[in-house]
Structure formats: structure tokens, C-alpha cells
Structure 1
């Protein structure tokens, strides 16, 4: 039986292969959201929000229709942007200022996308289960993002 580490290593290799040779960021983000949606179990939304001045605008995603614009200063995605750190939330209903785009989402992990100087967007993954994302998921997604970011 493979481990979560093996799973994320394989997922990272697939993501890198999808991105290599394609110059268009939007096309790569679209395929990456599709890959994550197919590979991750127990999620109900995965996608990207892209920074535009004082808000995050909906980018490529998989799932139900979502909030199209999130203001910076409120919510889990905003916290990832303003702190530049991964936000792993076991129960979104207990997160001060949480923006509920889908009431079925109960936990969330958000990873900031950075060019090294500025956070230009986030990867947002939601689950209908409480405490869906553990330390191994966070570590695996951190490595996934580290491998994919230079290609975006």
C-alpha cells in the first residue's frame, strides 16, 4: 500500500508533466485544478483565485459555481495572501471572517502562489468533511506547489 508521501510524489510528477512546455499560465492552472479534482478524494471544490488589486478573482476551478471575487482582509484565502503562509482550517465555520461560497464545505486548505516577492494568487481546496486535511496533506501540497510554481 502506498503512503501519502508516495501519492503526493506521483501527483507532483503528473503536475510538472502537465505544465512543461506550455507558456500560458491560465491553461496550466485549468489542467492543474482538473488533476487535483481527479486525484484528491473527499473534496468538493478545488481551484485558483488570482490577485487583482485589493481582491482575489476566481480563476480555473473544478466544482460548483463559486464566489467570483473575494475581498482581501476577509476569509481563509485572504489570510493566505496577507500572511504568505498555508492556511489549513479543520472547521471553516470557526474561522473568523470565513466566506461561505458553498455551505457544504466544512474544512479547507489554501496555499499562496508567489513569484518570490509577491503573492499573485492562491490554490484553494475545500472538503465537505471536517478536518479533512492533515499535516501530511499540507506537506505534500507544499512540495507539489514548490515543484509547480516555477513553471507557472
Structure 2
């Protein structure tokens, strides 16, 4: 049994390096993408302090026939199930293929409030073969919780996971 809890005194860069190492160890030999997303959601929860939600939204067919984001494995309160591309922070990340780091979600145009306690959000697209296949979504009850170091660290995690989810 592994204990994937990091040392509370780690510098942010080292914390993200160890997060990616732990994610690699958990997912390297597992072919099931849902299982891998579930373990990574739990790992994010363990590694990153001051979160109230950590998980995935997957790109899937919409009921209208287009694509949209559909809730995947996560840790936190119940969440919105379907998010159209371009709507909210997650939809903006999926639609643009770019990281969304939002210091105050209440100031974000079209923010979708799944949990009223969320104040800041980091959403990182998972891109495979040039196409967004999922997003990693992190919410915090603290304003401006996520740094550029967090964004780059989760971007490296997303790149690692692209072929494993």
C-alpha cells in the first residue's frame, strides 16, 4: 500500500513534481481511463490544499448531437452533470483548449455555480492528438487560490494523462 500524502512543507514546484510522479505510478499500467481519473481525482484532493472540488469533465456526445462536457470522476460535493462547450469556466477551457485560471469565479462571465462555496477555479484541458478529450477542474473556497505554478503543474499532469484516460 502506498501513502501518497505529500510533505506539507514542500515548495509548490516540488509538490507538483511529486504529484506527477505519483500520478504516473498510479496510472502507468492501468488501461481503464475511468479508474485512472478516479484515482487522480483522489490524488489531487490529497496533494492540493484548500480545495472544495477536484475532478474531471469528459468530452462526450451531447443529447443534441454535438459534443459537451459530461461529469467524470471527482471528489467533492455533487456537481453539474453536463456543460456545453463555451459555457462556464470548464466550457471555456474545453472550447478554447486553453487553461482557465480564475481568481474570482463570481466575476467570470457565465460562471456556472455548481457549489456556491467556490471562489476560484483552475481548469486545464487534457489534449490528445490535438483534440480536447477532458478537463481537469479544481475549485477552491478561497479567492485567487491558484498560481501560475499550479497551472503549469496541472498542465504537466494533463499531458501525462492524455494517453491514459
CA deviation string 1:29-61 (max 9, x = no partner):
000000001111000001101112332111000
| TM-aligned CA deviation for residue 72 of structure 1 | 1.9
Runs of 4+ in 1 over 4 A off after TM superposition: none
Instruction: Output the aligned Cα RMSD.
Output: 1.1
Aligned equivalents of 2:139, 2:108: Cα separation in 1: 14
2:70 pairs, out of 54, 57, 65, with 57
| TM-aligned CA deviation for residue 3 of structure 1 | 1.4
* Range that drifts further, 2-11 or 18-27: 2-11
Partner of 1:140: 153
CA deviation string 1:65-103 (max 9, x = no partner):
111111222111111111101100000001001000000
Give the TM-score taking structure 2 as reference length.
Answer: 0.88
- The number of aligned residues is 152
Aligned equivalents of 2:149, 2:86: Cα separation in 1: 28
Bigger helix fraction: 1
Give the TM-score taking structure 1 as reference length.
Answer: 0.95
Partner of 1:71: 84
Q: For structure 2, which runs of at least 5 residues remain unmatched after alignment? A: 1-8, 62-66
Q: Is the 8 A contact 2:125 2:158 kept in 1?
A: no
Aligned equivalents of 1:113, 1:136: Cα separation in 2: 17
Aligned equivalents of 2:149, 2:98: Cα separation in 1: 16
Aligned equivalents of 1:2, 1:44: Cα separation in 2: 21
Partner of 1:29: 37
Establish whether residue 18 from structure 1 lines up as the match of residue 26 from structure 2: yes
Establish whether residue 113 from structure 1 lines up as the match of residue 121 from structure 2: no
Aligned equivalents of 1:150, 1:52: Cα separation in 2: 17
Aligned equivalents of 2:102, 2:152: Cα separation in 1: 14
